[in-house]
Amino acid sequence: MKRRILTRKINIGRLILNLKRNKMKSKLILVFFLLLWAICLTAQEKYSKTGIASFYADKFEGRQTANGEIYYHAKRTAAHRTLAFGSIVKVTNLENNKYVVVRINDRGPFVDNRIIDLSKSAAEELDFVQNGLAKVSVELIASMDDLPDEQNDHKEEESEANYYKVNAEKVFPKGKGIQVGSYKNNENIFNLVDKLKQKYKEEIFVEAANVKEEKVYRIIIGNSNSDAYLNNLKNKLSKDFPGCFIVTFKN
């Protein structure tokens, strides 16, 4: 009888030990996958890669892309294997330092060592149409589809705004700036922002928001709490943007 009791105690002890070990393994597996997820997320946010770029052949004009849009060579769009649809990337031709900003709306190219397939107009901006291929760097600027959902409270016409800087990650500016434009089409907005930055030498932000279930992109120049500075900047910008006005960042 004593042997049976002792054996049962030992078996129960082993069972408890195995349960503890399995629980520890489960925790380790969970931690591993959480770390893996965090690494993948960071890689997406800081994506920067060098490789070969190609461009769409004329036969693809008018065909449907992987996200359901129609390809037009005149639009600044591109195909990438992994970046989310709507991602905005800066592509630089490493042979002449020319660059273009495009939006990802298709998948590909599925050819070894090629990392991006550009619309023909984007390839023309980089000046490699004649060569067919170019060595480029691809940098993720922002994923413009990661906009906040429309709020359930319909008293608020506009949901929380997101702000982006060209060549940088999502930012949270404080203070005020000068709004010079509002657009529903983001095809060329980052190219416009780059030109404005070169001309005015000021911080420039793109505010991305949902207004009545539509995406709106606003260009805001400057960032200051000084009324004198803002009024002076507004007067300077009024020559090119007569309807510009001061706005407060919503962060």
Residue range 54-108, pLDDT digits in tens: 999 999 999 999 988 899 999 999 999 998 888 888 999 999 999 998 989 999 9
Higher pLDDT, 8 or 155: 8
Question: pLDDT tens digits for 196-250?
Answer: 877 888 888 888 887 777 778 888 999 999 999 999 999 999 888 888 899 999 8
Closest CA relative to residue 219, chosen from 243, 174, 189: 189
The per-residue pLDDT for range 196-211, each reduced to its tens digit, is: 877 888 888 888 887 7
- For residue 120, name the pLDDT band (cuts at 50, 70, 90): very high
Q: Which two tokens stand for residue 211?
A: 């207004």
pTM of the entire predicted model: 0.53
Using CA atoms, how far apart are residues 104 and 93, in angstroms rounded to an integer? 18
Per-residue pLDDT, averaged over 180-202, amounts to 76
pLDDT at 251: 67
Cβ within 8 Å of residue 167, ≥6 positions away: 90, 139, 141
CATH class entry, domain 162-248: alpha beta
DSSP-derived 3-state class of residue 177: strand
Q: What is the CATH number of domain 47-143?
A: 2.40.40.10
